[in-house]
Amino acid sequence: MKILFVHNFYQIAGGEDAVLKQEMDLLTADHDVLQYTISNDQINTFFSKVLTLLHVPFSLKSYREFVHFLAVNKPDVVHVHNYFPLLSPSIFYACKKLNIPVVHTLHNYRAVCPTALLMHDGKINEQSITHNAWWTVRQKVYKDSLLGSFALACMVQLHKRLGTWKSKVDVFIALTEFAKAKYVEAGWPQQKIIVKPNFIIDPFDGVKSISKTGGYALFVGRLSDEKGIDVLLKAWANIVLPLKLIGTGPFKEALESNTQSNIEYLGLKDKPEVLELIKNADFVVMPSTWYEGLPMVLVESFACGTPALVSNIGSMQEVVTPEVTGLHFEVGNSSDLQKKVQWMMNNPSEVKRFSRNARDEFLNKYTSEINKSQLLDVYQQAINGVN
């Protein structure tokens, strides 16, 4: 099978880039894998920024160039990860012009809301789903830019009116049932959305049980409001269990100057170090206050046989089964977080059971072998739908 991966790289690498690479590497040995990529690094002048925003709703340039590429390379299926901002949704029209099956992974909510997070001013905001996206313009939700927010709102509303998502994509991949439900609520075709989680290569080569040193909880991620860092730090003011934090962001300086002996800020770490720290943690904690997609930290945590303590919001409460692979606490409630941490500390035998269950969950849902089979099934469904 000839598979074409399409991706618009951001200037700062993120999870979408990692998933793209993993999926390409997964399929390269057995299939003819091509890529069509572009980078936001070329948006480096005022003029290029303005020009890019004008093309966000529909880029004729991208459409023409992509039609030519498809005609020359003739892929069996196209898999789009990200098209914003340079490629634009015009690439889906190019696929349909040449009758080439197209799959699109929904990594965030940008196609239904310019915030991409369904969140504004630190709170969940679903107006773009329940009404329309025009409210985001006056709020300047995209990089505090009126023009940028207007361009994104135009993109959302244009393709909603044109029916792009109903007629120009054969199969969508949602990372969780929660994410699928939000898109269906926004009017997207339920029958075209398939839930397929992300995956990682098993760092422990299929073993059932993983030993730990333990003795601490761990946070891995961006140090920002939507990640619930303020909730986490408030809760830990009354907890004796050491907390280690990995990442960077707006809270970095506060953590660097922190004087609490039970909180240790480790900065950024490379992947092997992160996995080692996850493996040896009693549990990871994710106090996010927004609708996470499918945090790779949770997949990595399960791979390491480490349970998770998460906010009861969005996909996290779906991925982590309470009292099986971890616990939930009330989103934004530092007192409840503190209570649940204390429970984990007081019940080590239960935490060990969670740990075994987390590893089993990984082996049953998130391995590369399972993901490869799911991905090829998705492609075949797209191909069958076109033919």
Write the CA distances from 27 to 10, 141, 306, 371, 374, integer angstroms.
23, 37, 28, 10, 12
Q: What percent of the chain has pLDDT over 70?
A: 96
| 34/172 same-domain check | yes
pLDDT in tens, 329-339: 999 999 999 99
% of the chain with per-residue pLDDT over 90: 82
Name the phi and psi angles at 330, rounded to 5: -65, 125
* Nearest C-alpha neighbor of 69 from the set 20, 34, 41: 34
C-beta of residue 208 within 8 angstroms of C-beta of residue 359: yes
Which residues neighbour 225 within 8 Å (Cβ) at sequence distance 6 or greater? 122, 250, 289
User: Do 19 and 148 reside in the same domain of the chain?
Assistant: yes
Contact 79, 4 (CB under 8 A): yes
Residue 221 domain-assigned (yes or no) = yes
Instruction: Say if CB 41 and CB 71 are below 8 A apart.
Output: no
In a shared domain, residues 279 and 321? yes
Answer whether residue 171 is part of any domain: yes
Total Cβ atoms within 10 A of residue 46: 7
The CA-atom distances, in angstroms, between 267 and each of 14, 219, 246, 248, 278 are 17, 11, 5, 6, 15
Using only C-alpha atoms, what is the Rg of the chain? Answer: 21
284 in any annotated domain: yes
Q: Are residues 271 and 141 part of one domain?
A: no
Residue 272 CB contacts under 8 Å (≥ 6 apart), including other chains: none
Q: Let me know whether 166 and 234 are in one domain.
A: no
Provide the residue range defining the domain that includes 359: 217-365
Q: Is residue 352 part of a domain?
A: yes
Number of domains in the chain: 2
Examine the domain organization and report whether 151 and 246 are in the same domain: no
Overall average pLDDT of the 150-155 stretch: 95
What count of Cα atoms within 13 Å lies in the side-chain half-sphere of residue 351?
22
pLDDT value, residue 387? 58
> 258 Cβ partners below 8 Å, 6+ apart?
233, 265
pLDDT one-digit tens code per residue, 204-260: 998 988 999 989 999 999 898 889 999 999 999 989 999 999 999 899 998 988 888
Instruction: Please give the distance of CA 16 from its chain centroid, rounded to a whole number.
Output: 7
Do 110 and 30 belong together in one domain? yes
Pairing of strands 171-174, 102-106: parallel
Asked if residue 213 lies in contact with residue 281, where contact means CB atoms within 8 angstroms, the answer is no
More confident call, 257 vs 372? 372
44: pLDDT confidence band, cut at 50, 70 and 90?
A: low
CA 285 and chain centroid, separation: 17
Residues 341 and 312 in one domain: yes
Domain presence at residue 206:
no
Give the containing element (helix H, strand E) for 104: strand 102-106
Asked if residue 235 and residue 138 are part of one domain, the reply reads no
- Say whether both 194 and 314 belong to one domain: no
Q: What is the predicted pLDDT for the residue at 22?
A: 92
Q: Supply φ then ψ for residue 284, to 5 degrees.
A: -95, 155
As a whole number, the mean pLDDT across the chain is: 93
Residue 300: CATH number of its domain: 3.40.50.2000
Tell me if 30 sits within 8 A of 59, measured CB to CB: no
Instruction: Please report, in angstroms and rounded to a whole number, the separation of the first and last CA atoms in the chain.
Output: 15
Q: Which residues pair with 222 in a beta bridge?
A: none
- CB count within 10 Å of CB 212 equals 16
Structural domain includes residue 178: yes
Cα–Cα distance for residue pair 39/8, rounded to 1 Å? 6
- Digit-coded pLDDT (tens) for 316-358: 999 999 999 999 999 999 999 999 999 999 999 999 999 999 9
pTM score of the predicted model: 0.90
Q: How many residues does the chain have?
A: 387
Residues 14 and 62 in one domain: yes
DSSP annotation of 168: S
Specify whether 178 is located in the same domain as 49. Answer: yes
- Whether 207 is in a domain gets the answer no
User: What are the tokens at 147?
Assistant: 């023009």
In this prediction, residues 144-159 reach a mean pLDDT of 94
Burial (0-12, 13-18, 19+ Cβ within 10 Å), 42: exposed
Q: Are 118 and 292 in contact (CB under 8 A)?
A: no
- 8-state DSSP, 292: -
Spatial separation of the C-alpha atoms in residues 281 and 276, rounded to whole Å: 9
CA–CA distances in Å: residue 199 to residues 26, 254, 283: 10, 33, 20
In a domain, 212, yes or no: no
Element spanning 328, H or E: strand 326-329
Render pLDDT for 15-30 as a digit per residue (tens, 0 to 9). 788 899 999 999 999 9
